[in-house]
Amino acid sequence: MEKVLSPEGAARVRIAVTVNGAERRAEIEPRLLLIHFLRDVLGLTGAHVGCVIGRCGCCTVLWNGRPVKSCMVYAVQTDGGDVLTVEGLGPLSPPAPPSPQGGEGGTTPCEPALEAPLPPMGEGGVGGRGLHPLQQAFWEADAVECGYCTAGMLMAAWGLLRQNPTPTDEEIKQAISGNLCRCTGYRNIVAAIRAAAAAMAEA
């Protein structure tokens, strides 16, 4: 990283960090938290601020492959590193071509095609219309209500499954024990992670 002075004489640092597979460069205050860098500088508003002291997990992202509370990391610490946010979750292989839609000026069905197979294992994708198996599983298990904790839950879960593709329920709960949800009571979230792990193991 390179330290510079802003026009007003305030300290600034130039960083380069890979976010969701693309290199991003910025000149920022040293005290800028990673969560604010992602949200305010890069416009990636999927991760949320819930407490700013690392307790609620709404800000969870993957940093060099490991889940972190991005409110507890300074953006400058990620210089030269790799960050994955919920916006970077996608299908685990290139998405299948869309099926033909009925009706004039066809619209996307609001329900996922439940009969469609989950995408096969492969390297992580970036964006695209398809969903990551975890995203699909959260949807099917009704693991999302207000959605505010969801990005953090997904990233904590993906951090777990990347290291441990066949977790026990206890390991799943341990992985999300630092993620608070006020809406769902957690039951469906655990079920979703379990289902995603099973689906990915089968593929």
Partner 1 sequence: MTETLTWDGAASEYAIGGRPLRRETERFVRGAGEYVDDVRLPGTLYAAFVRATVAHARIRGIDTSAARALPGVVAVVTAADVAADMARLPGTGGPIVAALRFHALAETKVRYVGEAVAVAVAESRYQAQDAADAVVVDYEPLPVIADAEQALAPDAAVLFEELPSGNLVQEVHFASEDVDGAFAVADHVLRERFRSHRWTPCPMEGRGVLAQWDPLVGVLTIWSSSAGAHAVRGRVAAALRLPENHIRVIIPDVGGSFGAKNGTYPEELIIPYLARRLERPVKWAETRTEHLATVRQGRDQVHDVEVAVRADGRILGLRDRITADLGAAAYIDNALMATVLYMTGAYDIQQYAVDAYGAATNKAPHGSLRGIGKADAAFVIERLIDLIARRVGRDPTEVRLLNFVPEDAFPYRTATGAILDSGRYHTALRRAMELADYDGLRREQAARPAGRVRRGIGTSLVIEPTGAGRRGAGGGFGACRLRMEPSGRVSLFPSHAQQGQGHVTTFVQIIADRLGVAPETVDVLPVDTNTAPFGTGAGSSRSSVVLMPAVYVAADRLRDKIVQIAAHNLGVAPDALVIDGSAVRAIDGSERGLTLRDVTRIAYNDVYLLPPGMDPGLEVLGYFTNPNIVYEPDERGRHNEFAAYPYEAVVAAVDVDMDTGAVEIVKYVSVHDCGTMLNPRIVETQHVGCIAQGIGGALFEELGYDEDGQLNSTFMDYLLPTVNDVPALTLDHLETPTPFTPLGAKGAGETGTLSPPCALGNAIEDALAPLGVRIRQTPYTRDRVWRLIHAAESQRAPQRE
Question: Which stretches of the chain bind partner 1, using CB under 8 A?
Answer: 8, 10, 29, 31-32, 36, 39-40, 43-53, 55-56, 58, 85-87, 89, 103-105, 107-112, 114, 131, 135, 138-140, 142, 144-151, 154, 169, 173, 176-191
Q: Which is nearer to partner 1, 1 or 49 (CB)?
A: 49
Shortest spacing between CB 86 and partner 1, in angstroms: 4
Q: Which helix or strand (DSSP H or E) is residue 171 part of?
A: helix 169-175
Shortest spacing between CB 30 and partner 1, in angstroms: 11
Show the tokens assigned to 26: 């910025």
Q: Which is nearer to partner 1, 78 or 150 (CB)?
A: 150
Q: How many helices (H) and strands (E) does the chain have?
A: 5, 6
Shortest spacing between CB 107 and partner 1, in angstroms: 5
**Which among 19, 175, 158, 179 is positioned nearest to 88, based on CA atoms?**
19
Q: Which is nearer to partner 1, 60 or 78 (CB)?
A: 60
Shortest spacing between CB 188 and partner 1, in angstroms: 6
Q: Cα separation of 167 and 87, whole Å?
A: 24
Q: Which is nearer to partner 1, 47 or 62 (CB)?
A: 47
**DSSP assignments along 79-111, one per residue:** TTSEEE-GGG---SSPPPPPPPPPSTT----SS
Q: Cα separation of 166 and 50, whole Å?
A: 30
Q: Cα separation of 158 and 169, whole Å?
A: 15
Shortest spacing between CB 68 and partner 1, in angstroms: 17
Q: Which is nearer to partner 1, 17 or 61 (CB)?
A: 61
